Amino acid sequence: MKDKKFYITTPIYYTNWVPHIGHAYSSLVADVIARYKRIDGFDVKFSTWVDENSQKALLKAQDLWMNIVDYLDMMATKHQAVWDWLNISYTDFIRTTEPRHHKFVQEVIQKTFEAWFIKKGNYEWLYCIGCESFKKVEDLNTDWLCPDHLTKPEIIKEENYFFELSKFQEKLEKFYEENPNFTIPNNRFNEMKTFLKEWLEDFSISRNKKLFGIPFPIDKEQVTYVWYDALFNYLTVCKYPVKSGLSISPDLDMDFWPADLHVVGKEIARFHVIYWPAMLEAAGYEKPKNVLVTGFITVDWQKIWKSLGNAIDPVEFSAKYSRDLMLLYLLTAFPIWNDWDFSEEQAVFMYNAKLANNLGNLLNRFLVLSLKIWGKIQWKIDDKISYNISQLTSWYDSIRMNSYDLKQTLDKVFLFWDILNKYLDDTKPWNLKDESQLEELINILYTLWEWLRIMAICLYPFFYDKMWELLNRIWLNYWDLEKCDLNFNELFNKTETFTIKEKWEALYPRI
């Protein structure tokens, strides 16, 4: 067991749909961060999940003439298959219909009730089934429809239980002040702060006459409703980390709490940035350290909707090209605070420019030069390196990756490929043919080799299988980065002899 712990989660995935490219985007972001932390010596818990206590899932099962349990089993299997295909390195997969989750949610509601944060009330609300959330009149479009679903919201009148969010207004303001980086990026945090100023009302957490859901512990006539039935999954996997875990001893993974990072889409940011910290405080749990909010991927400038048939299947797309192409595009084409319109041509273009050409060219030149002088001299690491490597490594580790700025990290590393290609253009080592110039040639190659090694380590969390291959090609004494006991700085500083004996195939063939 490692001392340093890191707990990261993916967004909520609903089960009325298999994951599309937007979901893959969020999961890939989480995966890169999880892999980075593993190499940096952390014991990483990485949880992903499906929210099954939903009206949408029930309606969908009815549409298909399926039993709800069979339907949910089928969908959970499909979700897991997508994440496995994409090699998302999760350690926990939780379904919110699991007994361990029901048990924990009931414990939490009981605690919250006893702390006087749950009250009974009569309310009449507009409710959109598609969004699974209450709507205010001003949320609707000019035709009184949900602007996202273009459906008429239901009018709900019933007596149910409310979480007294209004009691947390000042506490949240103070919490935000004390944690100025709680929500990343800044533009999303500012949106949430505006919300907090304008609107903080108690929200309904139970419903009656609903057939499907977690029984509400303080009233048998009710079932638990959003967001209590969903968000506490993040804690369920810490409190009851084993699936069949009702009989096992609890608190096994509680030292992973509070979560270090929740990755969420912007449509659920409000619930994670405003509701969730209040719900946790009310139940006596610590708040998560950070929430990272991603924008939307659109297709032809429209939000992806099942009914529009405009979803891009991440499995199909990565099978046609590669995981690396998809990841490169999703993580570098646009900053995380933006929405972005998906473009296959642009994805291929970026892949060819950055991976096939820029890196390919550099590797090829390195290979040709190394083969040329192989055997002439015993290789040994030289301290004379023309470019300042520590500039990249300290920047990478302490600044970018730890603030989860994945685009800037990649952009910066790619910039060094250009610098190195230019370095070769300037030094022209292929002209150093004379025996007396051998030392100079070797110095240039060492410089290049050391840079390639460092960059492959930097890029490993992103493109792990190709970077593993690259490290194996240039670095004899290579070992499994995610399992070794070295952190990034130790890896960066670890110098070894290297050897290149044979020609290799292009790491990233041109498309």
**Displacement of CA 461 from its chain's centroid (Å):** 12
Identify which of residues 126 and 389 has a Cβ nearer to Zn ion in the complex. 126
258 contacts Zn ion (rule: CB under 5 A): no
**Residue 451 contacts residue 420 (beta carbons within 8 Å):** yes
Residues designated as active site: 20, 23, 128, 131, 146, 149, 303, 306
CB of 130 to Zn ion, least distance (A): 4
- In degrees rounded to 5, what are phi and psi of residue 219? -155, 110
385 contacts Zn ion (rule: CB under 5 A): no
**Residue 285 contacts residue 278 (beta carbons within 8 Å):** no
Taking the C-alpha atoms of residue 422 and residue 473, their distance in angstroms, rounded to an integer, is 23
Per-residue three-class SS string for 145-166: CCCCCCCCCEEEEEEEEEECHH
CB of 69 to Zn ion, least distance (A): 26
226 contacts Zn ion (rule: CB under 5 A): no
Per-residue three-class SS string for 233-251: HHHHHHHCCCCCCCCCCCC
Chain positions 6 to 65 lying near Zn ion, rule: CB under 5 A, are none
139 contacts Zn ion (rule: CB under 5 A): no
What single letter denotes the amino acid at residue 457?
I
148 contacts Zn ion (rule: CB under 5 A): yes
Q: Is 180 left (phi over 0), alpha (psi -120 to 50) or beta?
A: alpha
CB of 128 to Zn ion, least distance (A): 3
The residues pairing with 124 across neighbouring beta strands, listed in sequence order, are 157
Which one of 107, 130, 427, 438 is in contact with Zn ion (CB under 5 A)? 130
Identify which of residues 92 and 132 has a Cβ nearer to Zn ion in the complex. 132
Per-residue tokens: 501: 């004996």
267 contacts Zn ion (rule: CB under 5 A): no
Q: Find the part of the chain contacting Zn ion (CB under 5 A) among 128-136, 155-163, 440-448, 470-478.
A: 128-136
CB of 139 to Zn ion, least distance (A): 9
107 contacts Zn ion (rule: CB under 5 A): no
Q: Find the part of the chain contacting Zn ion (CB under 5 A) among 99-107, 126-134, 418-426, 498-506.
A: 126-134
**Residue that is written with structure tokens 């993040």 in the block:** 234
Which one of 78, 103, 111, 149 is in contact with Zn ion (CB under 5 A)? 149
**Residue 374 contacts residue 438 (beta carbons within 8 Å):** no
304 contacts Zn ion (rule: CB under 5 A): no
Q: Find the part of the chain contacting Zn ion (CB under 5 A) among 145-153, 188-196, 298-306, 332-340.
A: 145-153
Identify which of residues 85 and 125 has a Cβ nearer to Zn ion in the complex. 125
Which one of 128, 235, 293, 467 is in contact with Zn ion (CB under 5 A)? 128
Per-residue tokens: 429: 């080592």
**Residue 40 contacts residue 292 (beta carbons within 8 Å):** no
268 contacts Zn ion (rule: CB under 5 A): no
Q: How many Cα neighbours within 13 Å face the side chain of 171?
A: 17
Per-residue tokens: 393: 């490594």
Give the max Cα distance, the chain: 91
Which one of 61, 146, 442, 458 is in contact with Zn ion (CB under 5 A)? 146
**Residue that is written with structure tokens 């006991």 in the block:** 485
- Planar angle of CA 270, 331, 415, nearest 5 degrees: 135
CB of 55 to Zn ion, least distance (A): 12
Identify which of residues 131 and 348 has a Cβ nearer to Zn ion in the complex. 131
Taking the C-alpha atoms of residue 409 and residue 396, their distance in angstroms, rounded to an integer, is 7
Which one of 68, 131, 156, 385 is in contact with Zn ion (CB under 5 A)? 131
Q: Find the part of the chain contacting Zn ion (CB under 5 A) among 47-55, 138-146, 339-347, 391-399.
A: 138-146
Q: Find the part of the chain contacting Zn ion (CB under 5 A) among 131-139, 207-215, 249-257, 344-352.
A: 131-139
145 contacts Zn ion (rule: CB under 5 A): no
Taking the C-alpha atoms of residue 447 and residue 386, their distance in angstroms, rounded to an integer, is 7
- The residue ranges that bind Zn ion (CB under 5 A) are 128, 130-131, 146, 148-149
